[in-house]
Structure 1
Amino acid sequence: MSRFSLDKTLVQSFLVTLCRLLTGVKSFWHQVPQKDRPTIYYANHSSHLDGLVIWASLPRALRNQVHPVAAADYWQKTPLRRYLASRVFNAVLVERRRQAADAPDASESAAPRDPLAALADALEKGESLIIFPEGTRGDGDGVATFKSGLYHLARRMPEAQLVPVWLENMNRVLPKGSRLVVPIICTATFGAPIDTPDGDESKQDFLARAKTALEALAND
C-alpha cells in the first residue's frame, strides 16, 4: 500500500470513528442495495454533518464507491477542505448556478455547463452518490420541496437505484448557524429503493413521491 493510500485510509478511519463518537449514529436498513448497481442515496438536510453521517454509516466496502455531492465554492475554499473532498470523501463538487453566473469571467455567449454531467459520469462508472434534494439546509422541522435535480438525474440514469435516507436529530447535533457539536444520538434509516420515473410520470408527481417515501421513514 502506498503512503498516499495509507494516509487516506487512516484519515477515513479517524473520521468515521469521530463521527460515531460525536453523533452516536445508529444505522438501520430496510433493504441493502444491490452492490452491482449505481445508487443515489437522497436524504433530508439539516446539518453540515449530514453527508459525513451517511458516508460513515455505509459498509466499509462501499465507502470508496460512494461520492457525496457538495458545493464546489465551499469545499475548494481551503487546502484542508480540498484534501478532504478530493482524497477522503471522493466528493463530486458542483458549481452553484447563481455563483457561476455572477463570476467575473462569466460570458453571455459562453455555453452553459451541464450541472448533472459530473454526477451522471460517476453513475455511468457504476459508482454511487449522496445528494440532498432540498438544495439547502433546513431547520429539521420538516422537509422542503425537492429541487428538480433528482428527477432529471433519475431520468438520465434509470438503471440507478434511488434509496431514501432519513436522518434524525442532526439539526440538534449541529444546529444551523452554530459551530458547537452537541453529542446526541442520531439515526440514519435507509429505505428500500423507490422506482425511477417512467414516461408517464410528471416531474412534480415523481418529486412528491420521492419526498413522501423519505418522510415515511421518519415514523420507523
Structure 2
Amino acid sequence: MIERLIARGCSAAIRILTGARAFWRGCIPSSERRVYYGNHASHGDFVLIWSSLPAALRREVRPVAAAEYWQRDALRRYLIHAVFNGVLIEREAAQRSRDPIECLCEAVDGGGSLILFPEGTRNTEEGVLPFKSGIYHLARNRPELEFVPVWIDNLKRVMPKGKWLPLPLLCTTTFGEPLRLGAGEDKQAFLERTRAALLALSPEQMEAAR
C-alpha cells in the first residue's frame, strides 16, 4: 500500500515539476501488452512516460533500467523494485547473470508492458543515437507485441545530466502509432523503422510535416 502511495506521489511530483502534457497522436491508451520506447536524455525519462499513462495502466507497465545505476544504494533499489517494479538489465556482458532478452520476455509473459530506451545510454546531444539491437531481439521473440514510440521533449533541459535539482520548464510526451515486426523484416530494417517513427514525433519533424 505504501509503495502505491509513493508511486502516486512521484507521478504527481514530476507532473508538477515539468508541467508534463501527454499527446496521443497515433494511438489511444490500451491495456494491450505494449513496449513504449523513447528518446533518452535523463534518469527521469521513464518516470515521465510512466506518469503520462492513465493511472489504471501504470501498475502493469514496467520500466527497463540499468542495474548498475539502480542498485547503487538502498533508496534506489527500493524505488526501482518496490515502487516501479522495474526490470533491471546488466549492461556489461561480462557481469550478466541472465540474458537480458529472457528477462524482458519473462516480464511481458507475466502480462506487463514495458518502457525502454533503445539508444542504450543517455544522449546529451540533439537527435537520437542509433538503436541497440535489443528492441529487435525482443520483437523477434515476441512478434505479437506492439511497439509504441514516445518522444520526450524538454526533459533533458529540466533535469540535465549530473544534476538533481530540476529547472522549471514545460515537458511533453508524444505517443505515436504502434509498430510490429514485419514478416521477414531483418534487424537493420526494424531498427531503422522504429528509430524513424520516433524521430517523426520530434517537434521539428512534426512542424516540417505540416
- Using structure 2 for the length normalisation, give the TM-score: 0.92
Quick one: structure 1 residues 187 and 213, their matched pair in 2 at CA, closer, same or farther if it must change by over 3 Å? same
Q: Deviations over 1:168-206 (max 9, x none)?
A: 01110011232331110000001110132322x221111
Query: Aligned pair 1:59/2:54, yes or no?
Result: yes
Equivalent position amino acid for 1:206 in 2: F
Query: Aligned pair 1:115/2:110, yes or no?
Result: no
Structure 1 residues 39-188: aligned runs within 5 Å? 39-98=34-93, 100=95, 113-188=98-173
Distance 1:34 1:89 in 2: 19
Identical columns (%): 50
Deviation at 1:159, TM superposition (A): 1.1
Q: Deviations over 1:4-33 (max 9, x none)?
A: x2x012101111111011111100112115
Equivalent position amino acid for 1:74 in 2: Y
Query: Aligned pair 1:208/2:192, yes or no?
Result: yes
Quick one: structure 1 residues 95 and 207, their matched pair in 2 at CA, closer, same or farther if it must change by over 3 Å? same
Size of the aligned set, in residue pairs, is 203
SS of 2:200's partner is helix
Check conservation: 2:29, 2:54, Cα contact below 8 A: no
Check conservation: 1:166, 1:218, Cα contact below 8 A: yes
Distance 1:125 1:62 in 2: 15
Check conservation: 2:151, 2:199, Cα contact below 8 A: yes
Runs of 4+ in 1 over 4 A off after TM superposition: none
Query: Aligned pair 1:8/2:13, yes or no?
Result: no
Deviation at 1:99, TM superposition (A): 5.7
Map of 1:190 onto structure 2: 175
SS of 1:40's partner is strand
Equivalent position amino acid for 1:65 in 2: E
SS of 1:217's partner is coil
Quick one: structure 1 residues 141 and 149, their matched pair in 2 at CA, closer, same or farther if it must change by over 3 Å? same
Equivalent position amino acid for 2:28 in 1: V
CA RMSD of the aligned region, Å?
1.5
Check conservation: 1:45, 1:140, Cα contact below 8 A: no
Check conservation: 1:154, 1:197, Cα contact below 8 A: no
Distance 1:74 1:137 in 2: 12
Q: Which has the larger radius of gyration?
A: 1
Deviation at 1:217, TM superposition (A): 0.8
Check conservation: 1:140, 1:170, Cα contact below 8 A: no
